[in-house]
Amino acid sequence: MKNAKFNVTGMSCAACQGHVEKAVAKAEGVDSVSVNLLANKMSVDYDESITEPQKIIAAVEGAGYGASEISENAQRQSTTTRQDEIEVMKKRLWWSVGFLVPLFYICMGHMAGIPIPPVFTGHKNMMIYALTQLLLTVPIIAINFHYFTNGFKNLFHRTPNMDSLIALGAAASFVYSIFGTYMMAYHMGRGDFSSAHEYMMNLYYESCGMILTLITVGKYLEARSKGKTADAVKKLISLAPKNAVVIRDGKEEEIPADSVMTGDIFLLKAGWSVPCDGVIIEGRCTIDQSALTGESIPVDKSEGDRVMSASVNAGGFAKCRCEKPAKDSTLSQIIALVEEASATKAPVARLADKISAVFVPAVIIIALLSLTIWLALGYGFAFALNMAISVLVISCPCSLGLATPTAIMVGTGKAAQFGVLIKSAESLETAHSVDTVVLDKTGTCTEGRPRLISVQTANGYDKDELMKLCYSAESGSSHPLAKAIADHCAEKGYALIQADDYSETAGGGISALTDCKRVFIGNSRLMQENRIDMSEVAALAESGAEQGEIPLYAAVDGKLAGILFIADKIKDSSKQAVEDFHRMGIETIMLTGDNDKTAKAIQKKLGIDKVRSQLMPEDKAKIISELQSEGKKTAMIGDGINDAPALTSADVGIAIGAGQDIALESADIVLMKSDLNDAVTAVKLSRKVMKNIKENLFWALIYNALGIPLAAGVFYSLLGWKLNPMFAAAAMSLSSVCVVTNALRLNFFKDGRNTYSDKTINTTIETEDVKMKKVMKIEGMMCNHCTGTVSKVLNAIDGVKAEVSLEEKCAYLDIDGNVSDDTLIKAVTNAGYEVKGIE
């Protein structure tokens, strides 16, 4: 299967999107198709042995739309094209308004008490009045004629869309007005001024002009708002440097950044942007990676360190070798991921797609029924036509189509600014319902850089001799614990002896023949399998494990020689992230291959709910499956390498600390930094995005559910409500603008970190927090006024700092001093709310 992307033209609403998808899906050789109404783009997976892009384009054109394949540089071009389209639309709008103002003045000025020139008043001037309106309406129709060409073309293709509704409504107004003008002339020629005046009062020229102009106003505002939804992608694109300085034939040469190829040596001076992904081969510098990873503090880089495209050299000088050219760089991958996520559909969008598929035909039927019923009830044709036109122009399939993609595009773009890359809309939707977070210990909760901190010999073995043997045995392993021992020994200057007959036991340890001695280094399981007595250091091992240290036993020739303690420092951000997950009602579970005591020591320090220890790598995926069978919605957070099976098994796989390796197949969400708080940001943002989507869908559905019956005259007999087509057009235009504007509110989202700080943690010393933290569950809060009242009464208590959440129906309390639960409960109860419990 091959994937190709296309620009699609002529789409105006969700119905268009559905028509294009159906047409392409029917084409032979097409496996899947996804159309993005917001970006006017289409992604197609197809069998290149059966079909080709030209046939896919032909399928789109057969449905009444246009398409073209997207080239590599199309993103910059499409941004420019979109801006050009907005400018053209702006000109059309101003010309339309220019003709509409005098038209509206002539038709409606007398109703507002504005004097009208005598040439337009009186029975003798009725034809001048009508013909002037006609002459002012024709330019508006000409300026906005694309609504008619697109609308009727799709109608003839039996794929009616929003343009079809506009074209039918405006055309009906104009044709009836032409008919009325001829009837006026007919009756005036026969001296029947009374009948001519009756037709004059039922001219709809101003409705036709107003409908087209107001729709253009809405489309213009919508286009501008749509442009803002892609601001994050535009900012990323703008980061790409234009030029780079490379060394060729021993000389410095400035070339376009896109021309830097793999293996080229480029220079990096202070203030310069990195043109591509590379590695420093000479020099030192400080790199600002904030635009890509969200890290606010520049990172020191030296020989051997990697640099990412679009990061900035904040100081120093370095020579670098290009490893990935600009088109394959980290920046390009980020842009591609954000665009691909924006182009995918969230499951929640299926409802809108189903409604949109039948929406326009249903509206046309309702309009015809409205016309027929009002005529059957004995009302005049002008009255019935007014109702039918109002139904056509108030209906808005566009707002339904925009409800989901606008929020997805803004949300994924905003996440990228925090170094959180969300691969699909489905991942974003699933993340909002996660109730269980499974954490790998090494590299996720801890820094992933274990260090040897102490050694205790046994059975009278010499420490230096033991360390020399351990160094030689462990030097053949790539395991982080082995590396910690080898690095320590190298730093201390121990001699490295050749090791033979090396073997490694997964989840156990290693064995090697060193200096004619059989050496075993590993956990208690490995010692037991080789019948090595550990009783001499049992108490010491237990004490170290309780402090969060990993005890590794070393045996030489079948006899215990010592115990090595290794510690992996807990990240400063881990405890805050765990607490934030708890505040969101999410259970936390840590998985580790460490022994039970070490695992529980880390669990205690971080406040993790559950821990599973002494696990083999393949056990993690099984545990995920067990949790899912219990009905849990799981997110697995790991490094994306050893945890790949678990990441794939989880409902949402989150790879942490990916850096340049952002295309991890096993992960649904990729965190650029090694910071667990970014996982909190991902979940919080997903909840905000899903809330925004539901708001958009609600307003789009409720607008049409109320607007169409109102326009059809359902309330006319009871309440006398009759909707003028001009107001219907204005309402329709604003509905789409409101949906897009609501999605843009996501740009105000802040990252997942709480503002109040946490206690500092390390692996060996646990600092007691002087404040107690409690969560109070509260019933009865219905609005922001309620949360304000509860916050006020709790914060009024000395030593209490409270943050109240309406969404989670609880208060998060920081208590400094002796404040009893009874005091807290009494304060909230007296305010009129019910306390369900304090944790």
How many Å apart are CA 397 and CA 702, to the nearest integer?
A: 12
The residue among 91, 331, 348 whose CA lies nearest residue 235 is 331
Torsion of CA 145, 147, 148, 152, to 10 degrees: 160
CB proximity list for 122: less than 8 A, separation 6 or greater: none
How many Å apart are CA 75 and CA 336, to the nearest integer?
A: 10
Q: Active-site residue numbers?
A: 440
For 413, list phi and psi in degrees, rounded to 5.
-65, -40
Reported for 179-182, long-range contacts at CB under 8 A and 24+ positions apart, including other chains, are 180/130, 180/204, 181/127, 181/130, 181/131, 181/134
Between β-strands 277-288 and 312-324, what pairing exists: parallel, antiparallel or unpaired?
A: antiparallel
Residue 661, CB-side half-sphere exposure with 13 Å CA sphere: 12
How many Å apart are CA 320 and CA 281, to the nearest integer?
A: 5
For residue 128, the SS3 value is helix
For 814, list phi and psi in degrees, rounded to 5.
-105, 115
How many Å apart are CA 654 and CA 340, to the nearest integer?
A: 18
Q: Where are the alpha helices (DSSP H) in 610-766?
A: 619-629, 644-649, 677-712, 716-719, 725-744
How many Å apart are CA 373 and CA 382, to the nearest integer?
A: 13
Token pair recorded at residue 416? 């990228």
Token pair recorded at residue 551? 């005890």
Taking CA atoms, 399 is separated from 355, 577, 700, 738, in Å, by: 12, 37, 6, 8
How many Å apart are CA 408 and CA 431, to the nearest integer?
A: 13
DSSP class of 445: I
Whether the CB-CB separation of 833 and 783 falls below 8 Å is answered with: no
Residue 50, CB-side half-sphere exposure with 13 Å CA sphere: 11
For residue 89, the cross-strand partners are: none
Token pair recorded at residue 778? 């509260």
The residue among 299, 252, 305, 243 whose CA lies nearest residue 276 is 243
Q: Which amino acid is at 803?
A: E
The residue among 92, 378, 337, 123 whose CA lies nearest residue 212 is 92
